[in-house]
């Protein structure tokens, strides 16, 4: 999407889809990778990379262990932010809003679309807790594989989330640091668009 389309876009979701399509075509690895920032009720932030698995009218969807640090933080403070950075395209998108859990059926469907090893790993991992050794994790996966020769059940703590955007900012590199920045903010059922200084 070129500068003219960036400047004239009125729907940030449509603009994001166009940028993501470019990233899928041109980024070497994980164009759907995004930095997800959460915080404690006291405002202590933490950030990590996750994969955005779906974008719909509800927002930006991802999946994780609800007992992980991010899951625990989201349970008590639903405010979160994301930052997509496509280095080779020299573009980034920042998203801020609140996070809600997706329905169990959605989490089930995505969990069972993953490879068997990924399912086993999700069940075996006590995400964000101290692990004595890698060998211990590998052994947990082997034991689980032997106990569960058929379908792996999605554990209750493995859930889907959607970040419902209140603000979406698009940044595009410009010569001499004269970057283009546009901020879309929720305005009733629509969006207010503003150009920002770089």
Which residue's structure tokens are 């493995």?
Answer: 158
- DSSP letter, residue 68: S
Nearest to 60 by CA among 10, 99, 113: 99
Q: What is the DSSP track for 100-167?
A: EEPPHHHHHHHHHHS-HHHHHHHHH--TTS--S-HHHHHHHHHHHHHH-SSPPPPPTTEEEEEEEEEE
Backbone angles phi, psi at 166, to 5 degrees: -105, -25
177 catalytically annotated: yes
Place of tokens 């007992």: 67
Inter-CA distances, 55 with 97, 139, 196, Å? 14, 36, 25
Handedness of CA 195, 35, 45, 77 (dihedral sign): positive
Cβ–Cβ under 8 Å, residues 37 and 84: no
Q: Which of 90, 159, 177, 192 is catalytic?
A: 177
Task: For residue 64, give the 3-state DSSP assignment.
Answer: strand
List active site positions: 177
């Amino acid at each position: 999407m070129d500068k003219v389309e960036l400047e004239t876009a009125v729907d940030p979701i449509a603009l994001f889809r166009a940028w993501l399509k470019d990233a899928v075509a041109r980024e070497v690895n994980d164009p759907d990778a995004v930095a997800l920032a959460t915080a404690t009720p006291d405002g202590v932030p933490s950030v990590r990379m996750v994969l955005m698995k779906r974008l719909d009218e509800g927002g930006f969807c991802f999946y994780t262990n609800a007992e992980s640090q991010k899951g625990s933080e989201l349970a008590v403070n639903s405010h979160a932010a994301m930052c997509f950075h496509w280095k080779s395209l020299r573009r980034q998108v920042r998203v801020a809003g609140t996070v809600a859990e997706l329905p169990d059926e959605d989490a089930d469907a995505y969990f069972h679309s993953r490879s068997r090893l990924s399912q086993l790993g999700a069940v075996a991992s006590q995400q964000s807790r101290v692990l004595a050794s890698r060998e211990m994790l590998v052994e947990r996966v082997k034991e689980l594989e032997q106990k569960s020769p058929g379908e792996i059940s999605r554990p209750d703590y493995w859930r889907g989330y959607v970040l419902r955007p209140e603000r979406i900012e698009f940044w595009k590199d410009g010569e001499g640091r004269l970057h283009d920045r546009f901020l879309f903010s929720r305005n009733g059922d629509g969006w207010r668009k503003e150009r920002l200084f770089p």
